[in-house]
Chain A
Amino acid sequence: MKHVRLKLIGVVAVLALIAVACSSAEETTTTTAAAGGGSDTTTTVAGASDQSDILVNAFREDPQVLGLDPIEPPDYAYEIVNVDTSEFKIDGTPKIAFAIQAPEFSWPATYNQAVEARKAEAYPDIELVISPTGLGETDSQIATIEDLLVQQPDALIITPLTDVSGAVEEAAAQGVPVVLCTGTAETDAYVTRVDRDNFLNGAIGAEWIARSIDYSGKIVTLSGIAGIPTAEDRLRGATSVFEKYPDIEIVAHEYTNWDAAAGKTAMQTFLTQFDQIDAVWADGAGQAVGAIEAFKEAGRDIPPFAGEPLNGFLRLASEEGFDFVAVGYPPSHSSVCLDVAMDILGGVTVPSFVNVEVPIFDKTELDEWYRPNCVDDLWLPTPLTDEELVAEGLCEA
C-alpha cells in the first residue's frame, strides 16, 4: 500500500530470520512450545542492534509513509542493548504468568484475546496463567502480581497500569524474568519491554497536523489520562513537534481520560471560546469521536484531526469527509509479548526494548481500513478473522 505501513509480528519475525541468516551470531537459538527443548529453532524478534535500527528507522521512515519529513530519533532509540537470558533457560513445559488489564472495554478485550489466540496458535502446550486487573485499580495490580509469583511461574509478563517497580524487583529477586508489555516501570529489573514508542506516535500525528495547516494556525490538543506514561509520552512527542513551528499556537489542551463524553464536553467549551480552531490533535480515538460530535453539533466545519484507527472514528471520517491521520496502537501486539517471554525461557538473547510496528494512514487510505459493516467499537487491525468477527457480533456477514 502506498501510504500504509503495517508490519505485524510475521514481518518482524521474517526480518529477524533474515538478519540471523545473513550474519548475526548473537541472536540465534530457540523458541518453541517447549522452551529450550532443543527442537526446531526460530527467533521471534530481532536482536538489540536490529531493534535499535528498527526504532531509529521508525523515527525516520514512519513519517515518510505520510510524505512527512523524518523525525530526529531521541537518544534512547540508540540505547537498546542485548540481554543475555541464558540463566532463564528451562527444559520442559513453561509456566508463564500474565498480569493483564481486565477486558473492561474493547482495547484490552482485544489485547487479551490476542494473547490467547497466540498461545493456541503457537504454544498450545504451555501453561499460561492470566490474572486481570481493572483500570483504576492500579494498587491492586501489585497484589495481583504477588499472587502470581506465589504460583512460581517461569516467566512473568506484566501490563503495567501504574509504576509496578516494586513488584518487578520482587519477581527479579525470585529469579523470575519479567517482560513489560505495553507500559513501563521505573526500574531496570525487568528483562525487556515490548511496546510502541508513544513519543513517536504523538510526534507523527503532530507533524501531519502541522503540514495539514501549512505550519500556521490555532490547534487544540486532547490527551488521555494525566500522568499515564502512554498519554504523557504522546503529548511530549506532539509538543516537541509543535514547538518547532512558531506560527502554530496550541490554544487549548485538556485531559479527557480517552472518554467520548469528556472529549465532547471539552471541545464544546473550546468551540464557544475560540472562533478559529484549525486542527485537533487527539492522542486517542475515544475523545476524538466526542470532539468531532461537538463540531457537528455546533455546525462548524470539522478541521483536520489526528486520531487512531477505531472503526467509529473512521465511520465519522467517512460520513463527514474531514481530513485525518490515524496512528495505530494495535492491541494485538500483546501476542509479541508472549513470543518474547518464550524466547527468554529458551535462553535466547533478547533486546531490552521491542518496538511494535503500527498502521499509519490518512484519508487516502480510508476505504482500505474502514469497515462499514462492523461496529464502532472495533480496533483496527483486528486479530480476528472475518468469520470470528461475524460470530462475535462485531460485524455483519
Chain B
Amino acid sequence: MSRSLAQKLAPAALPVLVVLAALMFERAFFNPVNLQNVSRQASFLLIVALGQLIVVIGRGLDLSVGAVITTTLLLLVEIAGRPGGSIVIALIAVVAAGLVIGILNGLMVGFRKVPAILATLAMFVLVEGVAVWVTEGRSKGRVPEIIKPLGVGKVGPVPIPVIIAVTAAVLCGILIHRSSYGRRLFASGANPDASHLSGVSVRTIQASTFVLASLFAVLAGLLLSGFVGFYDRTLGTGYDLDSIAAVVLGGASLAGGRGTVWGTAVAVLGLAALDNLLVLLGVDVSIKLILKAAVLFLAVVSAGWVGSTTFWTAGWRGKRTLATTTKGT
C-alpha cells in the first residue's frame, strides 16, 4: 500500500472501528432510521468542518463558527419569527452577519497579523455579547416554519441536510483541490513566505478563508435552526472544537498547507457515529468523555504516524524498528 493511499484511508480508521464496535455491541446502530439520523448529524458538522478545513489549510483556526451558528438562529427568530416578519430579510441579515464576522476575522488575522486563535476567540466573545445585548437574554419569536424542512425534510430516504452537505463538500472539493484559488491556498498555508515571494497575495488568501468559514457556518446554522425548531441559545456550542477535531482527524495539519475534503468528511462521519453509538450503548457520561478523548487522542497520534515520512521510509520492519523510528520523528 502506498503512503499516499494509506494517508487517504487513515481517517477511515475511526468510522471502521465504530462500525466494528457496533457489530459487536449494538446492532441497533444499523437500523436504517438510525443511520439516517447519524448521517444528518454528520451533515451539520461536515458543513462547519468544511469551512474550518479551508481556514486550517491556510494556517489558521476559527473559534467563532459556533457563535455564527447561534447568531444565525437568533436573527432568523428575531426577524422572521415574529408576526409579519420577513424570511427574505432574515436570510439577507444572516448572510450579511456571516460576511461581516468573516471579514473582521480575516482582516484581523490576514492583515493585522493577530493570532487566529486570539482573533476568533475575541470574535466569539463579541458575537455572544452582542447577542445578549440585542435580545436581553430572551428570544422574541419562533423559528419560521419555512426553515424547518431544511433541517428535518427528506428527499426519499435521504435527509435534506445530507444532500446539502454533500453538495457543499463537492463544491468545496472543487474549490480547494481543483481551482487556482485552491493551489494558492495550499501554497500560502504550506509556506507563506515563499508564496508571497512568488506573487501570491497571502494576506488576501488567508482573510478569504475566514469569510468562507463564516459562510459555511451560516449554512450550518440555517439547517440546524430547521432541525431544532426552537430558539436554543447554545445551538452552536461545541461546533468550533468539534470541527477542528474533525479536520485534524481527517489528516489536515494545523501547521497549514495540508488537508482534504475526503478526509474531513470521513472523520466527521466517524465522530458522528461514535457519538451515536455511545448514546445507544448508554455509556455513563464520565466514561463517554474519557472514551471520546481516548479515541481522539489515538486517532491523532496514529494520523501522525501515518503522515510521518520516517515511518514510511522505515516501512514495516518489526516493532523495535517502528518504535525507534517513531521516537525519532
Contact = CB atoms under 8 A, between A and B. Distances in A.
A375 B152 CA distance: 22
Tell me which of A112, A252, A261, A266 has the highest count of chain B C-beta atoms within 10 A of its own C-beta.
A261
B164 interface: no
Contacts of B227: 261, 264
A103 B230 contact: no
Tell me which of B229, B231, B276, B285 has the highest count of chain A C-beta atoms within 10 A of its own C-beta.
B229
Interface stretch (A41-49, A62-70, A267-275): A267-275
A393 interface: yes
A108 interface: yes
A268 B37 contact: yes
Contacts of B128: 104, 134
Grouping DSSP codes into helix (H, G, I), strand (E, B) and loop, the B interface class, with mixed when no group exceeds half, is loop
Interface string A325-355: 0000000000000000000000000000000
A396 B85 CA distance: 14
A269 B279 contact: yes
Nearest to A104: B132
B279 A254 contact: yes
Interface string A38-65: 0000000000000000000000000000
Contacts of B152: 297
Given A106-B137, A106-B138, A293 B282 contact: no
B83 interface: yes
A392 B229 CA distance: 22
Contact of B224 (A261, A376, A394): A261
A312 interface: yes
Tell me which of A102, A254, A393 has the highest count of chain B C-beta atoms within 10 A of its own C-beta.
A393
Q: How large is the interface on A (under 10, 10 to 19, 20 to 34, 35 or more residues)?
A: 35 or more
Nearest to A253: B282
A272 B28 CA distance: 7
B296 to A, nearest CB: 19
B33 interface: yes
Contacts of B280: 269, 273
Interface in B91-149: 128, 132, 136-142
Tell me which of A257, A264, A394 has the highest count of chain B C-beta atoms within 10 A of its own C-beta.
A264
Interface string A123-164: 000000000001000000000000000000000000000000
A375 B138 contact: yes
A272 B232 contact: no
B142 A290 contact: no
Contacts of B230: 260, 289-290, 293, 312, 376
Q: How large is the interface on B (under 10, 10 to 19, 20 to 34, 35 or more residues)?
A: 35 or more
Nearest to A226: B285
Given A266-B279, A273-B28, A375-B139, A105 B37 contact: no
B31 A105 contact: no
A269 B137 contact: no
A286 interface: yes
A261 B137 contact: no
B34 interface: yes
A394 B228 CA distance: 21
B31 A272 contact: yes
B4 interface: no
B168 to A, nearest CB: 20
Contacts of B237: 257, 259
A297 B40 CA distance: 13
B3 interface: no
Interface string A229-268: 0000000000000000000000011110101110011101
Contacts of A270: 279
Contacts of A293: 228-230
A244 to B, nearest CB: 22
Tell me which of A112, A269, A290, A376 has the highest count of chain B C-beta atoms within 10 A of its own C-beta.
A269
A257 B28 contact: no
A11 interface: no
Nearest to A265: B41
Interface string B62-101: 0000000000000000000011000000000000000000
A293 B151 CA distance: 12
A188 interface: no
A273 B140 contact: no
A120 interface: no
B47 interface: no
Given A265-B41, A273-B34, A375-B139, A259 B234 contact: yes
A106 B139 contact: yes
A108 B234 CA distance: 14
A377 interface: yes
B177 interface: no
A272 B34 contact: yes
A351 B227 CA distance: 47
A109 interface: yes
A286 B137 contact: no
B233 interface: yes
Contacts of B232: 259-261, 286, 290
Tell me which of B128, B229, B230, B231 has the highest count of chain A C-beta atoms within 10 A of its own C-beta.
B230
Contacts of B31: 272-273
A109 B133 CA distance: 11
16 contacts: A102-B132, A105-B137, A105-B138, A112-B137, A252-B282, A259-B235, A265-B37, A266-B279, A268-B37, A269-B34, A269-B37, A375-B138, A375-B139, A375-B140, A376-B139, A377-B138
Given A106-B137, A297-B152, A312-B230, 7 more contacts: A104-B233, A109-B136, A110-B137, A272-B33, A273-B31, A286-B232, A376-B230
Interface of B: 28, 31, 33-34, 37, 41, 82-83, 128, 132, 136-142, 152, 224, 227-235, 237, 276, 279-280, 282, 285-286
Closest 3 CB pairs of A and B: A109-B137, A103-B137, A272-B34
